[in-house]
Chain A
Amino acid sequence: MLEIVLFWVLAAAALVFGYLVFRLDSMAQVTFALLASFLAVAGLVLLLGLGYLGVVIALMMVIEMVIMAVFMIMYMMNPAGLMPMTMVHNKVGSAAIAIGTFVVLAAGILLVDWPVREGGPAPDLTFALGEALMGGQMLTMMTLGVGLFATIVATVLLSTGRGRYGDER
């Protein structure tokens, strides 16, 4: 019962905040409406029992949206995004794509022959997820991950000089 109530509350929240993204007129508010929508989706993933995925969605989305807010506002056409703006462009085209996507997905839900569940969930879903994603390639993935990460850090360090307070090179 509680799960059903939570599902509908989170689903409605995800939709309402998603709608607000296109209704609010401030870049900052739009960004955090989008974040709220994503957090509701993270809640839905948690409801599915996928603890790790749900919490990681929340973690990544908060960081991502804050950084996005900074950059979006920095590069907006009107300074600092303080003037009213709208996220809607190409109204007819975007409406057609949105409605089309919804119809296809909804039709898929209704028409697909859903399989009957076989077996039960793994005892530790986080572990099972890691196994399913990486399997025998765990070491390769870890090495690649650290390599990619080191590249990011090195690139950023090489491309920045000192800040505005001195030690200019």
Chain B
Amino acid sequence: MGEMPVVPEPAALPWWWALLLPVLLGFVTWLVLVGDAALSGGRAAFAAPGREAVRLVVGQRRRTVAADTVLGRIGGGTLPVAALLAAAVLPLGERPVADLSVGVVWFNAMEVLAWAAVWMVGWGSNSALGLVGGYRFVAQGLAYELPHMFAIITAALGAESLRLTTIVDAQRDLWFVVIMPVAFAVYLVSAAAMAFWGPFDAPVARDVAGGAAVELSGVDRLVFAGGRWLLLVVAAAMAVPLFLGGGAGPLLPAWAWVAVKTAAVLALLLWLRHRFPTVRMDRYVELAWVVLIPLTIAQALAVALVVLGGA
């Protein structure tokens, strides 16, 4: 303590990558949708996402009595925007679009925008089931966010930096998944939960007729669902620089390894969704607070001891 660390120069991609990023993420999201449609056993899975998107674009917007259109629309629009902003610090290969010195905190701040977004969408349509879905997501957020924060901060602790490129560099000898497996597992669970995906889709579950999204139709539904998928892709991709060594790997260039690893994480999340039923919110809150939080704190302690021992 007491001695100032040397701050590395930011290593960001050229500015026009900011324009390319949405296209790239959209393409990956489309691939994931195709994979999901194929797993669901649908025929013509390749065209399914495109067909659905077109159907939603030309579809009519449903109107409800005394809807809070302002909040509803802002909420829907916030989801994809938050996912894109979170992706700005994601190293695509070796360098991200924005190499912030507080990248991990930035990612976390952008992903919690989903809390506000889903609640606003649930509130916006002035529909009881929609509101139930919105409230469920806030409960889910309170359950996943604390273990999630401990998990990502453990990766930052291991590298002694909040900068994602530095975190990747710190894994040159050993991927963080090896020394912090609990943090990695908790990260995967919370990544699924933050996109209200897989076993954590209670906010938009069938028992409340689609929950937060119940009254959405047409473009509104496309933006909401698209934002949710983007959030899943970004959260899955962030596991790569945090725990899986970023672009490190033999033979292939860094960007290809990032793509391969991201695909592997996404495949795992897809499998998780098809394998497990929806988790009841109160059960999940209890699991998160009684089991996951103590586990992640113990994990952070173990990593802190390793870091102190190595210094």
Chain A positions near chain B (C-beta within 8 angstroms): 26, 28-29, 32, 35, 51-52, 55-56, 58-59, 62-63, 65-67, 69-70, 80, 82, 122-124, 126-128, 131, 136, 138, 146, 153, 156-157, 162-163, 165
Query: What separation, in Å, do the CA atoms of A154 and B31 have in the docked complex?
Result: 43
Query: What separation, in Å, do the CA atoms of A22 and B245 have in the docked complex?
Result: 49
> Is B158 part of the contact surface with A, judged by Cβ < 8 Å?
no
Listed residue (A52, A123, A124, A146) with the most chain B CB atoms within 10 angstroms of its CB:
A124
Chain B positions near chain A (C-beta within 8 angstroms): 1-2, 4-7, 66, 68, 70-71, 74, 100-102, 105-106, 108-109, 112-113, 115-116, 119-120, 123, 126, 131, 135, 138, 141-142, 145, 162, 280-282, 286, 289-290, 293, 297
Contact status B68-A26, CB under 8 Å: yes
Q: Which residues of B contact A126 (CB under 8 A)?
A: 101-102, 162
Select which of A65, A80, A123 is within 8 A of B6 by beta carbon. A123
Query: 25 A-B contacts, Cβ less than 8 Å apart?
Result: A26-B68, A28-B120, A29-B71, A32-B71, A51-B100, A52-B102, A52-B105, A59-B105, A59-B109, A62-B109, A62-B112, A63-B112, A65-B116, A66-B141, A67-B138, A82-B126, A122-B4, A123-B4, A123-B6, A126-B102, A127-B5, A156-B289, A157-B290, A163-B281, A165-B282
Q: Which residues of B contact A66 (CB under 8 A)?
A: 115-116, 119, 138, 141
Q: Which residues of A contact B145 (CB under 8 A)?
A: 63
Q: Please name the residue on chain A nearest to B160 by beta carbon.
A: A127
Q: Which residues of B contact A29 (CB under 8 A)?
A: 68, 70-71
Given contacts A70-B138, A131-B1, contact A32 B105 (CB under 8 A): no
Given contacts A66-B138, A157-B289, contact A165 B280 (CB under 8 A): yes
Contact status A153-B119, CB under 8 Å: no
Q: Which residues of B contact A35 (CB under 8 A)?
A: 116
> What are the nearest 8 A-B pairs in CB distance?
A163-B282, A59-B109, A66-B115, A58-B109, A51-B102, A55-B105, A123-B7, A124-B7
- Judged by DSSP, the binding face of B is helix
Q: Please name the residue on chain A nearest to B2 by beta carbon.
A: A131
Query: What separation, in Å, do the CA atoms of A31 and B74 have in the docked complex?
Result: 14
Q: Please name the residue on chain A nearest to B70 by beta carbon.
A: A29
Query: What separation, in Å, do the CA atoms of A128 and B5 have in the docked complex?
Result: 10
Contact status A32-B116, CB under 8 Å: yes
Q: Which residues of B contact A67 (CB under 8 A)?
A: 138, 142
Q: Which residues of B contact A80 (CB under 8 A)?
A: 131
Q: Which residues of A contact B119 (CB under 8 A)?
A: 66, 69-70
Select which of B109, B281, B293 is within 8 A of A56 by beta carbon. B109
Known contacts A136-B1, A163-B282, then 6 further A-B pairs from the complex at CB < 8 Å, ordered by chain A residue: A28-B123, A29-B68, A66-B138, A67-B142, A131-B2, A156-B289
Listed residue (B6, B123, B293) with the most chain A CB atoms within 10 angstroms of its CB:
B123
